[in-house]
Amino acid sequence: MNYLSGLKILDLTQRLPGPLASYYLALKGAEVIKIENVHKRDPFSFLTFDEDDLFKVWYQELHQNKKVLLLDFETDHETLKTHVDWADVVIHTLDGELRESFFKTSSSKKTFLALKSATDGKPLHDLNALAHTGVLELYLNQHHDHKPPFLPIGGIAFSTQIAQMILSLEYSQSKNPRIIHESCYLQTSVEDIYGIFVQSQKKIKTNAPHLPQGAYPCYQIYQNKSGDLVALAAIEEKYWLMCQNELGLDLEASQRFSRDLSDHLKVARVFANLTTEEIEEKIRKKDLCLSIVRLKSGQ
């Protein structure tokens, strides 16, 4: 549903957080125009490392539901001001003269949201924010290969917070129309979204794995006969009993929360003897909390 139809957003940001936030809002019906300085394009639009074109693909996905314009920020001042006047919300990272020049408006109602790394002004990337807030420590204690998370979860959290803040500010505007200049911070966003989990972990007395880390047979990833993976999340008793009946699991409902390795192996052996096609057929017949993850060849 286009719940945000009529909301006009001008996105002057680059890379992931701002464009992902405006992508979320566009999915709900907001009209988004992204403007880039023709002399300083969004690095994601061209950045590659060796043969790694991940960022270029992300750029295409992030901007599929927006209008993208290339302007010269040195000479196209009037065009930029026209788009600022058009927008309800302007997302930006501008400071100094550019900000003063572009953001003069005759409107009595407009929201300007500046995206920044930290309240103390220090530069931070996704990985730094995760480290400073304790999230990376929490992650690495469970992943001993010491590699970064597969996805930029700090930047994604920041994007979510940006979108949420825009909606909050627009609600405030509906009650009290005015010119608003606000800031949203990467580090604060990561703290707000993940902080509760970091603090909770500090209060837990054991370092043993918990349910989200696959501590129990009912919530685990197994390999099947075809070499693909099976994500089992039969936490509730009714789903465990359904899996028990359909798959022939030799564990009682109470044992689904067993930490005994032999119980994990019993479930693993069941999936090791079933092909992907056999499991998919069972999924089609019943609403099991079971999903197939097809691995690329060579993994």
- E strands, 166-289, are 179-185, 219-223, 229-233
Could you give the CA distance from residue 77 to residue 71 in angstroms, rounded to a whole number? 9
More confident residue, 231 or 150: 231
Answer whether residue 142 shows pLDDT above 60.
Answer: yes
272 falls in which pLDDT band (50, 70, 90)?
Answer: very high
Residue 173 phi, psi dihedral angles, 5° rounding: -65, -35
Query: What does the pLDDT average to over 151-168?
Result: 96
For 67-91, the pLDDT digits (tens) are 999 999 889 988 998 999 999 999 9
Percent of the chain with pLDDT over 90: 63
Could you give the CA distance from residue 40 to residue 46 in angstroms, rounded to a whole number? 11
Tokens of 112: 């300007």
298 falls in which pLDDT band (50, 70, 90)?
Answer: very low
DSSP secondary structure letters along 36-54:
EETTB--GGGT--BTTB-H
50 falls in which pLDDT band (50, 70, 90)?
Answer: low
Domains and CATH numbers, the chain: 8-203 (3.40.50.10540), 212-293 (3.30.1540.10)
What's the pTM? Answer: 0.88
Could you give the CA distance from residue 65 to residue 261 in angstroms, rounded to a whole number? 48
Residue type, 243: C
For 200-229, the pLDDT digits (tens) are 888 887 777 888 889 999 999 999 999 999
Could you give the CA distance from residue 147 to residue 250 in angstroms, rounded to a whole number? 36
Q: What is the pLDDT of residue 140?
A: 85
Answer whether residue 299 shows pLDDT above 60.
Answer: no
Could you give the CA distance from residue 95 to residue 119 in angstroms, rounded to a whole number? 15
Neighbour tally for 219: CB within 10 Å:
19
Tokens of 15: 């890379």
Give the pairing type, strands 290-293 and 229-233. antiparallel
Could you give the CA distance from residue 162 to residue 186 in angstroms, rounded to a whole number? 9
Answer whether residue 144 shows pLDDT above 80.
Answer: no
pLDDT-wise least confident of 49-53, 107-111, 258-262, 265-269: 49-53
Q: What is the pLDDT of residue 122?
A: 85
For 176-194, the pLDDT digits (tens) are 999 999 999 999 999 999 9
Could you give the CA distance from residue 181 to residue 113 in angstroms, rounded to a whole number? 6
Query: What does the pLDDT average to over 240-256?
Result: 90
Closest by CA to 24, choosing from 165, 197, 127, is: 165
The answer to whether 42 and 15 have CB atoms below 8 angstroms apart is yes
Provide CB contacts within 8 A for 174, sequence distance 6+. none
The H-or-E segment that residue 67 falls in is strand 67-71
Tokens 């359904």 appear where?
Answer: 242
Give the pairing type, strands 219-223 and 229-233. antiparallel
DSSP secondary structure letters along 84-142:
HHH-SEEEE---HHHHHHHT--S-S-EEEEEEES-TT-----HHHHHHHTTHHHHHHTT
**How far is C-alpha 184 from the chain's CA centre?**
16
Residue 206 phi, psi dihedral angles, 5° rounding: -105, 150
Judged by DSSP in three states, 214 sits in coil
Could you give the CA distance from residue 68 to residue 71 in angstroms, rounded to a whole number? 10
